[in-house]
Structure 1
């Protein structure tokens, strides 16, 4: 009996030893990555206010930047927050596809577009934070791509708010101008962000932010107006609508995210202590993800429960198919704008080298 017990203890000891070797095995499975460096070791374009360390070396191989997904650096949290959220959106789409006929139900097209737009902006943002450290030109290129993703999501949000969320009184006021103006402001937001990034070496910091914040702020005020009107109308009548609660959370999360996007806190108060975790941009990412997820849930409920209303409001207008065409046109215009501004950046680099 004692021999059997000793054999079991020996096997357990061997298993524990094997478990301890797992981290060493995982470490050996990937090539050793260069250490991160301080802000003094990278060009100014990569430097973030009050972030002192954790920068990745520029001019490495593409493989290095892809593998830095598993490395601790000052962009790690920014990459993973949006990467994981993009996967959540894919899972949500799969769940919805079991009950929603995206192919045959024309009223489901706006829901499909907002899911596609949400995945696009999250994926583009993750790619930008992961690969932009390759070179100065890569930095501009991938952030211009990120701005295209933001524009598509802005229009996708405007579309579902106009299609599913809007009340009849507000629909009568804005029906002829809402979607065209939303598409224009989404493009303007992309153009403003691209130009602000391009001109940032010659602009004060506040002017750079103005190019990013003002067009996006105008787009948000228009896009969210059906939600504000819906919340106001609902509470006037004694609100019991579950979707409205999600819409309230959506607004709250967005306003918090907008604050942390505009003001780099808490790293300004804790300079050098938020290089890996706790940056304002990371809080912005998390709040924006929560805003997106509760928005999708709110729109899902509206799609299911408000069908008689939106079928009547949009009957005979073919809004869904027109909105798809406008979505494609706006995305193409935003992408073309990003390409043109990137060419100007590339031309400037060529002039410096000559």
Structure 2
């Protein structure tokens, strides 16, 4: 009978420091796994398995949603839909990049860093995709056409470059300055989110102060709540830091971080769809739809710059002795 021998799992003391996770004691894959071992591990219960599936399945969901919209909308003749489709592309990209990173990050210490460089770059692009969609559909009417509105996407592009640079740099300080690393990496993603969401925060404030009957408001609140939970869980390493070893396979913070992030993205996607539909005539009365250069242009530029940043940091891995040793 044909049998498949799965790779042996290791404890925290059996893997190099770069592979260790706070509060996770068992279930580690070998730090020199082959690509085949990494693929097989998707179907083996390790401390990364749920991390992989909590982004692999949602990436399929977002790809299905994007495909359905492309078939349902007359996208070539309706520029108003382009910002949303650009945003949806980033919704598909970031969980796929995360899936790839969690799957192949145990091939070597250098591979681990490079995998997460791409993961961070995809998250930064998702933030830019959100900003492009917010500029098109979310802005309060009082701010449409303002200086801030005109500069908003450009600043979001700069934030993408900053986010990718800081998050990639944080991997070089991880071993010696773990607390500093956590602060800088959290800030690298929290700051762009806060900036992107300023128009929404103001709109929610106006709604609370003046009273409004927009059906989309609870969905926006749902997104904000899960975005906060995502950041909180990522920064605190709860619950595994309280009971190390208990949540090695199920329920540790990175799994919860993935789940809350995906739910937050779902709420964001639904709220954008509602606003795009309900506010279309009002928004177009204030300002024409964003052009192709205003949607795909910033994304293409940021994608190219992010690849260059990742290439620079990846090259550095092999020129710094402590990272080139494996």
1:241 aligns with: 214
2:156 aligns with: 182
Cα distance in 2 for residues equivalent to 1:293 and 1:96: 15
Q: 1:242: how far off?
A: 2.1
Cα distance in 1 for residues equivalent to 2:163 and 2:19: 22
Q: 1:340 to 1:220 in 2, by over 3 A?
A: same
Q: 1:294: how far off?
A: 1.0
Matched, 1:339 2:311: yes
Larger Rg: 1
TM-superposition CA deviations, 1:22-60 (whole Å, max 9, x none): xxx9xx5x7221121101111110000110000001223
Q: Is the 8 A contact 1:198 1:341 kept in 2?
A: no
Q: 1:126 to 1:229 in 2, by over 3 A?
A: same
Cα distance in 2 for residues equivalent to 1:165 and 1:330: 22
Q: Is the 8 A contact 2:109 2:323 kept in 1?
A: no
2:121 aligns with: 148
Q: 1:352 to 1:164 in 2, by over 3 A?
A: closer
SS in 1 for 2:82: helix
1:7 aligns with: none
2:73 aligns with: 100
Matched, 1:264 2:237: yes
Matched, 1:292 2:265: yes
Aligned pair partner of 1:323 in 277, 280, 295: 295
SS in 1 for 2:26: coil
1:22 aligns with: none
Matched, 1:109 2:117: no
Q: 1:351 to 1:169 in 2, by over 3 A?
A: closer
Q: 1:176: how far off?
A: 2.4
Worse overlay, 317-326 or 180-189: 317-326
1:223 aligns with: 196
Q: Is the 8 A contact 2:101 2:116 kept in 1?
A: yes
Q: 1:287: how far off?
A: 0.4
Q: 1:201: how far off?
A: 2.8
SS in 2 for 1:121: helix
Cα distance in 1 for residues equivalent to 2:133 and 2:210: 23
RMSD: 1.9
Q: 1:117: how far off?
A: 0.4
Q: 1:143 to 1:197 in 2, by over 3 A?
A: same
* Total equivalences in the alignment: 325
Cα distance in 2 for residues equivalent to 1:351 and 1:56: 20
Q: 1:350: how far off?
A: 8.4
Higher helix proportion? 1
Q: 1:261: how far off?
A: 0.7
Q: 1:318: how far off?
A: 4.4
Structure 1: any 5+ residue segments left out of the alignment?
A: 1-24
Q: 1:267 to 1:353 in 2, by over 3 A?
A: closer
| Superposition TM-score, scaled by structure 2 size | 0.94
Q: 1:349: how far off?
A: 4.6
Cα distance in 1 for residues equivalent to 2:238 and 2:105: 23
1:195 aligns with: 169
Q: 1:101 to 1:349 in 2, by over 3 A?
A: farther
